[in-house]
Structure formats: C-alpha cells, structure tokens
C-alpha cells in the first residue's frame, strides 16, 4: 500500500494505485447542487485533490480513460451523463507571486492565466477548429479568445479555480499598509483580480462557461469582489459536503489494519495507534450540528506513511507543513484582546461561543476594523485551528480546538507572548524536562512566579482564575513528543485541569505521568497585600483558611480523578498528582497527593 502524501493529482493517485478514500459519490451531488460553487476548507485539507477529481471526471480528452480512473470507484457504477463532456481549465492562484508592486502582481496574474490557456490549447488541440489567440498583457482578452473557440465546438467549459483567496491570505499575514494598498488596487474598481472574476461571470452568460468550482480558505475575497462576481453559491457549510475533504475514523482504521499486516502488529497495537491518531488528528467538523468528526487528511497521511515505513509512530507528531498554520494564530494574537481569545480557546470547560459565523468581511475589515471575539473566532474557524463543537442550550455555536496537534500551535504562541526572551524559554524548557523525569515541581513554580506571572499581571485581562494558572502551566509543560496532554479532560463526568500521559511509544524512557488540579485565591479574599503575601512562608500561607479550603477541595478532586485514570490504564501509569494553588500573582503553593 502506497500513501499519497503531498500528491494531489487524481490521475497519479488512481493510476499508480495509491491509497485513496473514495469521494467520487459526491460528484453527482455537486452537479445537482448548482453550477457556480464556492467550497472553503483550511489549507492542506485536500481541496486540490477534489478539483483534480472533477477535472479527470469531466475532461472530454480523458473519455477513453474513464474505466481506468473511475471504474472501481463509486461514481463508476452509476456515472452521470455529464462525465467526459467538458473542456476543463484549472487556475491555481497560489502559484501567483504576490510580492512587488500592484502592477507586477497584475502581470503575474495575467501570466498565470495565459499559461493555463496555453496548456488548454495543447490538451484540446484535436477538438478545436478555431485558433486561440494569446494576449501577453491581457489574459481576459485571451480568455475571450478561448470562449470564442469553444463556441465552434459541441462542448462547454468547466472552470476550476484553486486557492482563489491566496492574495488576501498573503496580505493578511503581512499586515502592512502598503500590502493593503496593493490588494485594494487589485480588487477595487476595475482592479485586476476583480476584472478577472467579472470576465468569468460574463463568460457564464451563454458564452461558453457552464460550470465553475472555486476553492479557498476564507470568504474574504468573495466579499471584496461580490459586485463583480455575485453568482457563487456557498457549499462549505452543507452537511452533504462535510466530508468532501477529510477522512472518517473507519477509513483510518482500515488503513491501520493493512499496515498491521505488513508490520506484524497485534490487534491491541492497531487500536493503540488509532487512539493516538484520534487524539492528535481527529476532531474537524464543518457543519453546524456535528454528528461525527473528520481527520485532517495531510496529517493522517503523514502519520500513516511514517508508520508503514518504520512500523513506529513519528516522533514529531506535527507535520512541518501544518506548523505554518501558527502564523494564523499569531495574526489573531496581535489584534486588540486577541491574546484573550487564544487563551480562552484552551479552556475545555468554557469553550468559545458565537451567535453565528462571520461570513461577509473583506480585507479592509480584517486589517482596520475593530475586531470582536466572534470575528476573531470565525477567522480561526476558517483557518482550521477551531472547528464546530455543537451548540449551547441557548442556540449559540460552540467553537473548539479540534485536536491536540492544533492545541500545540496555541500553546507555542502563548509561550512566545509571555516569554519573549529566548534565554527564559530555554530555562523553562530545561525545568520542564527535569520535571518530566523527577516530578519535582518546586523549581517550575518558582520560575512561574519570577518570570511568567509578571507578563500576566502587566496585561489587561478580563479574567483571572484557575484558567489563568492552568494556561501558564500548560504552555510551559506542553510536549507532544513525549506526552498526550489534556486529551481526556472528562473523568467520570468531571473535568481534570491537566492530565499528562506518556505516549505509548515513549514509555521506554524514564518519564512520569501527571495529574494536576489548579486553584486561585484573590488577594482581597485573604485581606493581604502583595508584599505581605510575599513575606509569608509556605506553611503560613497553607494555614490560611481559604487556602486550606482550596487545597482540601483540590485533594478530593485529585483522588477521584486518580482512581478513574488508574482504572482505565492500570499499572502502566507512573502517576504523580499535584494540587497547585496560586495566591494572586505572587505565590504558588503546591503539594503532591499520594
């Protein structure tokens, strides 16, 4: 079995017998839904392969290869009458360099479209009777020549546009005023990008363009060019297209079972591997009422390919190609109150909620308008670092981090925000490494008060509670190379603050498992000033009534959680349990619960 990691050419995947999860049953649904469709998914989620599937299905030049490509797939059993009945042209705007002046970008856009037209001419030479004239500085005129040539044939054009919003993504990540000016030049008035979409729309009015399928990450560009292209139907929130990209768990299990035959795994090892993949890669839903979750296909293929090649899990659980998504979180964190949204997303007990997903906003709003929490949360959804998690009793939408590998991106960004100095981050890393092996929490607590809490106290937070403390420890202790962290917050219908279970493949090392519960005491409730708290010993603080109550409450919770964990995992856990009480930002009291 071959896994097509990084391969998005449907022809190669099928003809070279790569692993393929059949989504051809969606082709008839796409036909029935509409002619001009917009489909959004996060980057690296398999959108290009969907376009390639459509290209190979509808391409008149590949009619003789239909049985080879689709004969063994779902659509091959009941093909639609439109198969192999179109000329197909594919534009990929991610291939257009967005640096330089607006005029340079405009020319590159026209060069790209002209290049696609040249490819079109070569593919359909035997079908065309009229010549296609290329205009080097005016691809719109070239497109009109294409449509004129098509009119002389019995066929029409199916236009596929991949990464249509690439320009907006580049501008957003840059965040510079001159970048915004360049983008606005491209989309406002008769700007180049807007002019292209207006020409495409004009081509649908009996001039030869019969169907259009557009993919991207967000609705930003469509909002900006709506006056020039107002015919697209959004299908990205439709239940029937929820799994157009992504893998179901049953499909992952089938692949793991095949690998198990090659590697000689026992059934227990298959389920262990599935549990690993579920924890790190599952959890995506693109419909308001999630019934079941999808796996990120790029991450899943990364894991499966490594497992097949080595019969071991990848040590680095986050594929570098997805690590780039951290830039999206950085963008949000730099907005006013963006840090609060990033931190709040880490709270499993009180997830982010919004009344509705923002869908009509352009680059100007993204770069200049006031950003509220629903706006920022909606962007994180489109970027793929939040996903739908159901709804509240009052009908609000719940957005949550889909899995542990995405949680890592949030944690790393918070660590950089609160520990911008490299030497401080390195000191924290070494202390965490020692803690994993010894269970000695005291140095980490001292570092937290000395270095980390200073950042908290100097920022305008709307909340200060147990979540503050938990977030601080999570950012310092997070390590997905060795641990499955906070993957099972619900323990016997209760929620543990932080669990750290050693990954099954890392149990050969001298690493401990941890269970931690955090409490917070405000200085006002103690009736002491910050300076007075600093002067007290640990014993004196622990003797204070409210601190003592918090420790007892935490101890009772930990004993219950510990019993549940041990009943689930037995003697394999080297479990250490800690109660941690923060007294303002000045002190951390902790004790180990046996």
Q: How many CB atoms neighbour CB 526 within 10 A?
A: 18
Residues 181 and 66: their CA atoms lie apart, in Å, by 47
Residue 456: pLDDT band with limits 50, 70, 90: low
Q: 0.75 exceeded by the pTM? A: yes
Residues 401 and 237: their CA atoms lie apart, in Å, by 18
**Radius of gyration of the chain measured on its C-alpha atoms:** 27
Residues 131 and 138: their CA atoms lie apart, in Å, by 17
Q: Which strands sit side by side in the sheet containing 498-502, from one edge to the other? A: 483-485, 498-502, 513-521, 575-583, 587-593
Residue 460 confidence (pLDDT): 41
More confident call, 190 vs 54: 54
Tell me how many degrees the CA angle 350-284-406 measures, rounded to the nearest 5.
70
Which of these, 557, 561, 555, lies nearest to 592 by C-alpha position? Answer: 555
Structure tokens, 273: 């591997």
Residue 367 confidence (pLDDT): 63
Q: What separation in angstroms does the CA of 65 have from each of 11, 76, 125?
A: 10, 12, 18
Residue 462 confidence (pLDDT): 37
Residue 164 confidence (pLDDT): 92
Residue 86: pLDDT band with limits 50, 70, 90: very high
Q: Is the pLDDT reported for residue 578 higher than 90?
A: yes
Q: Is the pLDDT reported for residue 282 higher than 60?
A: yes
Q: Is the pLDDT reported for residue 159 higher than 70?
A: yes
Interstrand relation of 498-502 and 513-521 (parallel, antiparallel or unpaired) = antiparallel
Q: Is the pLDDT reported for residue 487 higher than 70?
A: no
Residue 359: pLDDT band with limits 50, 70, 90: confident
Residue 178 confidence (pLDDT): 65
- Residues with Cβ within 8 Å of 537's Cβ and at least 6 positions away in sequence, in order, are none
Residue 370 confidence (pLDDT): 62
**Mean predicted confidence (pLDDT) in 326-341:** 80
Interstrand relation of 483-485 and 498-502 (parallel, antiparallel or unpaired) = antiparallel
In the block, which residue shows the tokens 């330089």? Answer: 100
Highest mean pLDDT among 89-93, 319-323, 453-457, 488-492: 89-93
Q: How many CB atoms neighbour CB 295 within 10 A?
A: 25
Q: Is the pLDDT reported for residue 179 higher than 70?
A: no
**Mean predicted confidence (pLDDT) in 418-431:** 89
Residue 366 confidence (pLDDT): 66
- Strands of 443-574, DSSP E: 483-485, 490-491, 494-495, 498-502, 513-521
Residue 187 confidence (pLDDT): 77
Average pLDDT, the chain: 89
Q: Above pLDDT 90, what percent of the chain?
A: 60
DSSP 284: B
**Mean predicted confidence (pLDDT) in 485-499:** 66
Q: What separation in angstroms does the CA of 312 have from each of 19, 268, 405, 465?
A: 19, 14, 18, 41
Q: Which domains does the chain have, with CATH numbers?
A: 10-241 (3.40.50), 249-283+294-323 (no CATH), 435-594 (no CATH)
pLDDT (tens digit per residue) in 74-85: 999 999 999 999
**Mean predicted confidence (pLDDT) in 514-531:** 89
Residue 553 confidence (pLDDT): 92
Burial zone of 555 (CB within 10 Å; 0-12 exposed, 13-18 middle, 19+ buried): middle
383-386-388-393 Cα dihedral, nearest 10 degrees: -140
Q: Within 13 Å, how many C-alpha atoms sit on residue 513's CB side?
A: 20
Q: Above pLDDT 70, what percent of the chain?
A: 93
pLDDT (tens digit per residue) in 209-236: 999 999 999 888 888 787 778 899 999 9
Q: Is the pLDDT reported for residue 195 higher than 50?
A: yes
Do 583 and 547 form a contact (C-beta atoms < 8 A)?
yes
Residue 450 confidence (pLDDT): 86
Three-state DSSP state, 59: strand
Do 444 and 431 form a contact (C-beta atoms < 8 A)?
yes
- The two most distant CA atoms of the chain are separated, in Å, by 93
Residues 579 and 439: their CA atoms lie apart, in Å, by 13
Residue 285 confidence (pLDDT): 93
């Amino acid at each position: 079995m071959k896994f097509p990691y990084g391969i998005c050419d449907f022809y190669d995947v099928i003809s070279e017998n790569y692993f393929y999860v059949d989504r051809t049953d969606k082709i008839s649904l796409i036909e029935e839904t509409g002619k001009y469709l917009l489909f959004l998914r996060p980057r690296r989620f398999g959108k290009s392969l969907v376009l390639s599937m459509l290209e190979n299905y509808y391409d008149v030049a590949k009619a003789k290869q239909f049985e080879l490509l689709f004969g063994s797939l779902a659509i091959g059993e009941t093909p639609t009458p439109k198969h192999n009945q179109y000329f197909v042209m594919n534009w990929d705007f991610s291939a257009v360099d967005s640096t330089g002046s607006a005029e340079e970008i405009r020319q590159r856009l026209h060069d790209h479209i002209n290049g696609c037209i040249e490819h079109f001419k070569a593919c359909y030479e035997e079908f065309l009777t009229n010549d296609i004239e290329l205009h080097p500085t005016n691809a719109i005129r070239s497109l009109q020549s294409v449509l004129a040539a098509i009119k002389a044939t019995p066929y029409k054009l199916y236009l596929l546009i991949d990464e249509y919003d690439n320009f907006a993504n580049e501008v957003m990540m840059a965040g510079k005023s001159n970048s915004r000016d360049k983008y606005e030049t491209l989309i406002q008035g008769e700007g180049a990008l807007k002019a292209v979409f207006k020409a495409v729309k004009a081509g649908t009015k009996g001039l030869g363009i019969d169907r259009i399928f557009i993919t991207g990450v967000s609705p930003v560009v469509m909002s900006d060019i709506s006056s020039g292209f107002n015919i697209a139907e959004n299908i990205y929130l439709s239940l029937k297209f929820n799994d157009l990209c992504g893998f179901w768990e049953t499909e992952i299990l089938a692949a793991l079972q095949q690998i198990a035959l090659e590697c000689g795994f026992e059934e227990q090892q298959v389920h262990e591997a599935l549990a690993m993949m579920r924890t790190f890669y599952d959890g995506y839903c693109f419909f308001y009422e999630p019934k079941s979750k999808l796996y990120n296909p790029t991450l899943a293929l990364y894991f499966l390919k490594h497992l097949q090649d080595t019969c071991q899990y990848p040590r680095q659980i986050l594929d570098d190609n997805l690590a780039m998504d951290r830039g999206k979180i950085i963008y949000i964190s730099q907005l006013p109150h963006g840090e609060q949204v990033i931190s709040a997303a880490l709270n499993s007990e009180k997830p982010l909620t919004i009344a509705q997903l923002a869908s009509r906003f352009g680059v100007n709003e993204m770069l200049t308008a006031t950003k509220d929490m629903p706006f920022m949360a909606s962007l994180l959804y489109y970027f793929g670092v939040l996903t739908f998690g159901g709804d509240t009793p009052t009908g609000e939408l719940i957005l949550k981090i889909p899995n542990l590998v995405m949680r890592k991106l949030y944690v790393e960004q918070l660590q950089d925000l609160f520990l911008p100095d490299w030497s401080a981050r390195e000191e924290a890393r070494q202390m965490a490494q020692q803690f994993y092996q010894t269970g000695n929490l005291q140095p980490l607590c001292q570092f937290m008060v000395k270095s980390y809490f200073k950042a908290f106290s100097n920022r305008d937070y709307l909340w200060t509670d147990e979540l503050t403390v938990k977030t601080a420890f999570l950012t310092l202790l997070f390590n997905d190379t060795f641990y499955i962290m906070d993957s099972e917050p619900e323990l016997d219908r209760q929620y543990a603050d932080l669990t750290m279970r050693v990954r099954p493949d890392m149990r050969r090392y001298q690493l401990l498992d941890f269970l931690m519960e955090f409490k917070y005491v405000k200085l006002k409730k103690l009736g002491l000033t910050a300076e007075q708290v600093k002067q007290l010993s640990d014993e004196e603080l622990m003797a204070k009534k409210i601190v003592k109550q918090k420790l007892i409450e935490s101890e009772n919770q930990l004993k219950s959680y510990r019993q549940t964990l041990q009943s689930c995992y037995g003697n394999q856990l080297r479990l250490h349990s800690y109660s941690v009480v923060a007294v303002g930002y000045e002190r951390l009291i902790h004790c180990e619960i046996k």
